């Protein structure tokens, strides 16, 4: 299959705007700061930037609690800054994707203020209100993802409202057509302004059980895990009707040219693929997060890829993700050497890759002292290791004050190794992870096989993962060593013959390969081979 659409051939890059570049010394990143860093993104070679929320928000969940869907929060700048951003991004060949958060608003959103004002307010039914149980407790046993009951009692009208996340994030009622229309208009507002698509927050949460049945207990729940996992979310997420809602969003996307709909979905692969929708008229890219929690070894990754490739509906375009603002950084999960192997994996698999800011410089999870915690999830459920601040720390640009991120006091602490691990330093080091990312991105651009070639697994043992991306005129053979030990690979069968394009160690480009290959521990290589099979 030939990739013809930009979001199939392109590489996405997530920016967490609070932490990218501050321009006004308030310690929080902003839009003018991001504009100043566009040349970096262009140099890196990515095609699209997905920006976490920038809309007016009380920041209870750092922008995922929106009080105005069609404005810009002053901490990030103004609408004029946004227009300047989109103009500058497009001028440098970058697409811009916004974060759409339709599942819930802030409790300060005018819609919710109206809704909670009285039982007969015309917006009452825009949110999910229920009477308490006969004993006065919550209507049912549903739990908030961030700890405690998902129901908040509201004294003014004597009912409870549902919030899948914080009580400051009441869920909208997507069974109400007025809610759908309002959110469609929000989408059109931004699409008309030129945005190239949306990443839709918690899209699998949008519809909940119409009968409000209790969720069943999770037999596998163990102490030390987040309390909401004590129940299986049978009636609160992944309801069949959600696919109609998504198809409705997709119709809005399709009113415009060449826009993309990405869905945030944490589900097992067999459920995930349903989000491509009937006749592929759902999300273009239901985020595939399988690598975020995969045990990091060759066999587990091999079977995840196989399962995903097998489950994709015909014509559906795959995608892969290694990190985001909710999960521990890849470099800390797998270590600095395997982070390079992970980069080669991400950028050589079949499907659109999404990079998380800072992963390209090997940024690590930063330890957050108890007094520095900002994440409401960690504050609500302390001590279980769920905190997300450590993966949201400021981008490390240079060795200057605050890593060049801000002239003020950064909202989260910086990594203590930023004087060494920063863009300027790593750029100057030809063998750095940053230059590895650039080389990988360059190869993806250069070799059609890496974008639209098929994925052909090749049987391998122990720590090796081997596959071929077979294109029209040639193929790229990818051999990844997930272990510390060197390996010698000798095989005529797999067509071990060609030119070495890139090693994760960055010192073998151009080497001729003929029948055997020596790999060092934690090394991955890509080999350009003549078209076979």
Residues designated catalytic: 201, 255
Helix (H) or strand (E) holding 34: helix 31-36
Question: Whole-number minimum distance, CB 171 to ligand GLC, in Å?
Answer: 10
Alpha-carbon span 150 to 166, nearest angstrom: 8
Position with the least CB separation from ligand GLC: 64
Partners of 530 in beta bridges: 474
| 3-state secondary structure string across 358-418 | CHHHCCCCCCCCHHHCCCHHHHHCCCCCCCCHHHCCCCCCCCCHHHHCCCCCCCCCCCCCC
| Residue 98 vs 101, nearer CB to ligand GLC | 101
Torsion of CA 105, 377, 408, 31, to 10 degrees: -40
Question: Whole-number minimum distance, CB 164 to ligand GLC, in Å?
Answer: 8
Q: What are phi and psi of 470, to 5 degrees?
A: -95, 115
Helix (H) or strand (E) holding 470: strand 464-470
Q: How far apart are the first and last CA of the chain?
A: 16
Question: Whole-number minimum distance, CB 322 to ligand GLC, in Å?
Answer: 15
DSSP percent split of the chain into helix, strand, coil, nearest 5: 30, 20, 50
Question: Whole-number minimum distance, CB 89 to ligand GLC, in Å?
Answer: 22
Question: Whole-number minimum distance, CB 377 to ligand GLC, in Å?
Answer: 7
> Which residues are at the interface with ligand GLC (CB under 6 A)?
61, 64, 101, 165, 201-202, 264, 325-326
Question: Whole-number minimum distance, CB 201 to ligand GLC, in Å?
Answer: 5
| Residue 190 vs 204, nearer CB to ligand GLC | 204
| Residue 169 vs 402, nearer CB to ligand GLC | 169
| Residue 356 vs 418, nearer CB to ligand GLC | 356
DSSP string, 436-467: HHHHHHHHHHH-HHHHHSEEEEE---TTEEEE
Provide the 3-class DSSP secondary structure of residue 283. coil
| Residue 202 vs 344, nearer CB to ligand GLC | 202
Question: Is 60:168 a contact under the CB 8 Å cutoff?
Answer: yes
Q: What are phi and psi of 328, to 5 degrees?
A: -55, 145
| Residue 30 vs 61, nearer CB to ligand GLC | 61
Alpha-carbon span 528 to 533, nearest angstrom: 15
| Residue 163 vs 520, nearer CB to ligand GLC | 163
Alpha-carbon span 184 to 292, nearest angstrom: 31
Alpha helices in 222-373 (DSSP H): 242-254, 269-272, 298-311, 330-334, 336-346
Provide the 3-class DSSP secondary structure of residue 12. strand
Question: Whole-number minimum distance, CB 357 to ligand GLC, in Å?
Answer: 14
- Judging by beta carbons within 10 Å of its beta carbon (0-12, 13-18, 19+), is residue 219 exposed, middle or buried? exposed
Question: Whole-number minimum distance, CB 298 to ligand GLC, in Å?
Answer: 29
| Residue 168 vs 348, nearer CB to ligand GLC | 168
């Amino acid at each position: 299959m030939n990739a013809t659409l930009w979001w199939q051939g392109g590489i996405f890059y997530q920016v967490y705007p609070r932490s990218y570049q501050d321009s006004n010394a308030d310690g929080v990143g902003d839009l003018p700061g991001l504009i100043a860093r566009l040349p970096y993104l262009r140099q890196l070679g990515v095609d699209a930037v997905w920006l976490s929320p920038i809309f007016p928000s009380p920041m209870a969940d750092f922008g995922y609690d929106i009080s105005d869907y069609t404005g810009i929060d002053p901490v990030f700048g103004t609408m004029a800054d946004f227009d300047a951003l989109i103009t500058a991004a497009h001028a440098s060949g970058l697409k811009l994707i916004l974060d759409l958060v339709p599942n819930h608003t802030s409790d300060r959103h005018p819609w919710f203020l109206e809704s909670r004002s009285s039982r007969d307010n015309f917006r009452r039914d825009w949110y999910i209100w229920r009477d308490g149980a006969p004993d006065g407790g919550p209507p049912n046993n549903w739990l908030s993802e961030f700890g405690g009951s998902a129901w908040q009692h509201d004294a003014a009208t004597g009912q409870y409202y549902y919030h899948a996340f914080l009580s400051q994030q009441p869920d909208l009622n997507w069974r109400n057509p007025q809610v759908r229309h309002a959110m469609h208009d929000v989408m059109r507002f931004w699409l008309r302004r030129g945005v190239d698509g949306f990443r839709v927050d918690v899209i699998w949460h949008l519809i909940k059980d119409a009968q409000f049945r209790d969720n069943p207990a999770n037999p596998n729940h163990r102490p030390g895990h987040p309390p909401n996992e004590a129940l299986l979310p049978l009636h609160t997420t992944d309801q069949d009707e959600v696919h109609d809602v998504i198809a409705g969003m997709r119709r809005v996307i399709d009113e415009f040219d060449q826009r993309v709909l990405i869905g945030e979905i944490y589900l097992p692969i067999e459920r995930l693929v349903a989000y491509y929708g009937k006749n592929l008229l759902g999300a273009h890219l239901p985020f595939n997060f399988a690598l975020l929690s995969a045990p990091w070894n060759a066999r587990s990754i091999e079977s995840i890829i196989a399962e995903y490739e097998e489950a994709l509906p015909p014509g559906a375009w795959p995608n892969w993700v290694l990190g985001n603002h909710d999960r521990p950084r890849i470099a800390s999960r797998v270590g600095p050497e395997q982070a390079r192997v992970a980069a080669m994996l991400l950028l050589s698999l079949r499907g659109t890759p999404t990079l998380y800011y800072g992963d390209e410089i090997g940024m690590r999870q930063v330890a957050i002292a108890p007094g520095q915690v900002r994440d409401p999830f960690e504050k609500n459920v302390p001590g279980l290791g769920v905190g997300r601040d450590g993966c949201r720390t400021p981008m490390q640009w240079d060795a200057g004050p605050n890593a060049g991120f801000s002239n003020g006091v950064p909202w989260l602490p910086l990594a203590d190794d930023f004087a060494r691990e920063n863009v300027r330093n790593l750029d100057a080091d030809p063998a750095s992870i940053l230059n590895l990312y650039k080389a990988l991105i360059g190869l993806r651009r250069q070799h059609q096989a890496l974008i639209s070639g098929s994925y052909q697994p090749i049987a391998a043992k122990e720590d090796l993962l081997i596959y071929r991306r077979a294109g029209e005129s040639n193929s790229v053979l990818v051999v990844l060593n997930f272990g510390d030990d060197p390996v010698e690979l000798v095989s005529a069968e797999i067509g071990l013959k060609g030119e070495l394009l890139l090693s994760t160690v960055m010192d073998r480009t151009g080497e001729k390969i003929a029948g055997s290959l020596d790999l060092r521990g934690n090394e991955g290589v890509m080999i350009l081979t003549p078209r076979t099979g």
